[in-house]
Homo-oligomer: A and B are copies of this chain.
Amino acid sequence: MKEKIAADFKELQSYICSELEKYDGYSQFQQDTWTRKEGGGGRTNTISNGKIIEKGGVAFSEVFGEVTHEMKKQLGTQGDSFFATGVSIVLHPHSPHVPIIHMNVRYFELENGQYWFGGGIDLTPHYVIPRQAAIFHHDLKKICDNYNLEFYQKFKRWADDYFFNTHRNETRGIGGIFFDHLSEENSDLTKESLFEFCKDLGKAFPHIYQKQIDLAQNTEIHEKHLEWQRLRRGRYVEFNLVHDRGTKFGLVSGGRTESILLSMPPVANWVYSYQAEENSDEQLTLSWLKKDVDWLSFIN
C-alpha cells in the first residue's frame, strides 16, 4: 500500500500546483527533483513572484532507509527501517491582507507494520478578521465531519497547541487542524479511510485558499500594511526555526535543507520591542492570537 500512498501524494502535489497556477495567473511552479543518498528522494515545486503568491513551495518526498539515531530519539520508535512520504506546502502571498497558508499530509511506516498518518492545514493572517477565520475553519470542519465527528474539535485544539510561539505567548495565526500518529487504533477508521481523509484535505487545499484570496481582493494595500506583514513574517520565521518539530528534526537529521526551508518568507523584518499603536488593526490582530478562540462562532 505504501507505493500507492506515495503515488497518490505525488499526484496530489501535481493537482495542487496546477490549481494554484490557474488562480495565480501568469507564474508557474519550477520543478526540482532530488534524490536522497540513503534512499528515496523528492520533487520540490517552487513559485516566486507570482501574481498572488510572492514565494511558495509545494514539496513531495518519498524517503526510506535505516531508522537513524535522531529518529529514534524523536519518535521513540522500534524497528530498523522506515518509509515516509508526504506533501508539504507553505505559501507567502504578496498582499498583507491574504494570509500565509501551510498544509502538510504525511505517511510513516516501519518495517514491523506500524504506521501512521499526520498532517494539517493552518492559516496565518497578517491581519486577523474573524469572519475570514470562520470561513476557513468551517471549510476544515466540513472535511473532518465526513470522517469522524470528533476530528475537527480534537485537531483544532491540537493546532492551537502546536502552532504556538511560546516565547511570544501568541499563536502563529488563527490555527486550523493538526494531527499526528493517526491510525486505525486511535481513530475508528480504516487505514484506507484515513488515507482518503488526507487526500481530501489536499484536494480541498487550493479551493480553501482561493476563498481566502478572494476575500481580500478589494482591500487596499498601504505601506503600513506591508511593514506589518514583514514583522509578522519575522514571527513566522521564529516559529518555524525555534518550535516547529518537523523543521528542527529535518535540519538536525540531515534532511534536504532547501526543501525544509521552503517555508521561509521572501523577506522578514525585526524591530526591537515593536509596539502596535493603541486601537490599531495591528493591535487588534495581536489580541486575537490566542488559543481556544471559537472561530466558527463568527460565521455570520
Interface string of A259-274 (1 = CB under 8 A from B): 0111011111111110
Chain A contact residues: helix, strand, loop or mixed = mixed
Q: Does A137 contact B (CB under 8 A)?
A: no
Point out the residues of chain B lying under 8 angstroms from A241, CB to CB: 237-238, 241-242
Known contacts A48-B272, A271-B266: does B237 contact A167 (CB below 8 Å)?
A: no
Q: Which residues of chain A in 104-126 are interfacial with respect to chain B, using CB atoms and an 8 Å cutoff?
A: none
Known contacts A168-B257, A241-B242: does B270 contact A234 (CB below 8 Å)?
A: no
- Contact check, A272 vs B262: say whether CB atoms are below 8 A apart: yes
- Cα–Cα distance between A266 and B262 once the two chains are bound (Å): 21
Interface string of A225-264 (1 = CB under 8 A from B): 0000010001001100110000010011000011011101
Q: What 5 pairs across the A-B complex have the smallest Cβ distances?
A: A241-B241, A264-B270, A167-B251, A46-B272, A167-B257
Q: Does A102 contact B (CB under 8 A)?
A: no
- Contact check, B269 vs A234: say whether CB atoms are below 8 A apart: no
Copies in the complex: 2
Point out the residues of chain B lying under 8 angstroms from A32, CB to CB: 272-273
Q: Does A57 contact B (CB under 8 A)?
A: yes
Known contacts A166-B252, A167-B252, A248-B242: does B272 contact A234 (CB below 8 Å)?
A: no
Q: Does A55 contact B (CB under 8 A)?
A: yes
Q: Which residues of chain A in 20-68 are interfacial with respect to chain B, using CB atoms and an 8 Å cutoff?
A: 32, 44, 46, 48, 55, 57
**Closest residue to A255 on the B side, CB-wise?**
B167
- Contact check, A48 vs B271: say whether CB atoms are below 8 A apart: yes
Number of interface residues, chain A, beta carbon within 8 A: 33
- Contact check, B270 vs A55: say whether CB atoms are below 8 A apart: yes
- Cα–Cα distance between A273 and B166 once the two chains are bound (Å): 30
**Closest residue to A240 on the B side, CB-wise?**
B241
- Contact check, B237 vs A258: say whether CB atoms are below 8 A apart: no
16 inter-chain pairs at a CB distance below 8 angstroms, sorted by A residue, are A44-B272, A48-B271, A48-B272, A55-B272, A166-B251, A166-B252, A167-B251, A167-B260, A168-B257, A234-B264, A241-B241, A242-B248, A242-B251, A262-B272, A267-B268, A267-B269
Q: Report the minimal beta-carbon distance from A202 to chain B, rounded to whole angstroms.
A: 21
Which of A251, A271, A272 has its CB near the most chain B CB atoms (within 10 A)?
Answer: A272
Q: Report the minimal beta-carbon distance from A68 to chain B, rounded to whole angstroms.
A: 14
